[in-house]
Amino acid sequence: MKGILLVNLGSPLSPTYEDVRAYLKEFLLDPLVVDYPSILRHLLVRGIIIPLRYRKVAHAYKTIWDKEGPPLIVYGKKVQKALQKVLGDEFHVALSMRYQKPSIRDGILELQKAKVSSITVIPLFPQYAEATTGSIIKEVQSHVNGNISVHTVIEFGSHPLFIDAWKKQGELYPLSSYDHILFSFHGLPIRQLKKLGHSQIPYNSSCIQTAQLIAESLKLHPSQYSISFQSRLGKEKWLQPYTNEVIASLAKEGKKKILVISASFVADCLETVYEIGVEGKRDFERHGGKTVDLCESLNESQHFISLLKALSLDKTCLKKL
């Protein structure tokens, strides 16, 4: 039996202040996420970022939380189940989160108990960054012994099945009815772009490539869309243009209806449902716009499962750890 370990970012155990603080602490103290020297990182995260942000983040999670839990975890479980079904009994599919539960350690133990002969790690981040896929690789390496073969998918932002999956999502919307299409990707501090890690292409270049390929598949003219970066943290320079500023500018230019495609996320989550669906909508309306539609993420769509199946079976996509 072969093991597949799906890994996404993670979520607080609940939207309470206590659990949100615990999640932010684990997440932001990762030296690959806030990559300052240890003392400075702890002072910044524990003394400034968490005290200033945890109430706002908890409110955001309460807004998107439903009876099943946070969307990222809910969709993760559905994807795990669907992928297990299409791969069959020769595979055991486990789900992990880089932060909080189910942990990467838990996922690896699950696969070891299933007596898998190998593990293929699929970080659910289409474009490689040290703060995401790089951190997952490091955590996996710390929990796997040398008796089992481990390979990982490094990135898949330009994979034909990934582009096709987003094409199918985009076609669910009447594209000609929108004044503009915005491709919004998670941002990174500018200084982190030099950290290629296991990738051969800088993060921003990978995002631009993904957007252009999806736009081409949807037959969008370059004048119909633009690319931006969201989720900026702190005063440091991050990838630009910033999504919130672009959304406001589009409204000021007289655009009344826009569609946002967040193609660095494979599942709807805080960054899509709240940042775009709530905050982005509010900013657009505040400056004269009327409608912001968020293109539903890949979630558990059959086209996304087809991509994951291909990544699980295609050895050319893998790098040995």
Condensed to tens digits (0 to 9), the pLDDT of residues 45-58 reads: 999 999 999 999 99
Pairing of strands 118-123, 257-261: unpaired
Q: Which domain holds residue 101?
A: 2-157+301-320
Do residues 49 and 98 share a domain? yes
Do residues 152 and 165 share a domain? no
Do residues 110 and 223 share a domain? no
Do residues 28 and 134 share a domain? yes
Do residues 146 and 210 share a domain? no
Do residues 119 and 174 share a domain? no
Do residues 174 and 259 share a domain? yes
Domain count, the chain: 2
Beta bridge partners of 261: 183
Please report, for the domain that includes residue 252, its CATH number.
3.40.50.1400
d(CA 275, CA 269): 9
**What pLDDT tens digit does each residue of the chain (321 aa) get?**
999 999 999 999 999 999 999 999 999 999 999 999 999 999 999 999 999 999 999 999 999 999 999 999 999 999 999 999 999 999 999 999 999 999 999 999 999 999 999 999 999 999 999 999 999 999 999 999 778 999 999 999 999 999 999 999 999 999 999 999 999 999 999 999 988 999 989 999 999 999 999 999 999 999 999 999 999 988 889 999 999 999 999 999 999 999 999 999 999 999 999 999 999 999 999 999 999 999 999 999 999 999 999 999 988 777 887
Do residues 49 and 181 share a domain? no
Do residues 73 and 211 share a domain? no
Do residues 233 and 279 share a domain? yes
Length of the chain: 321
Do residues 147 and 192 share a domain? no
Do residues 143 and 234 share a domain? no
**Which residue from 87, 103, 67 is spatially nearest to 4, judged by alpha carbons?**
87
Burial class (CB in 10 A: 0-12, 13-18, 19+), 308: buried
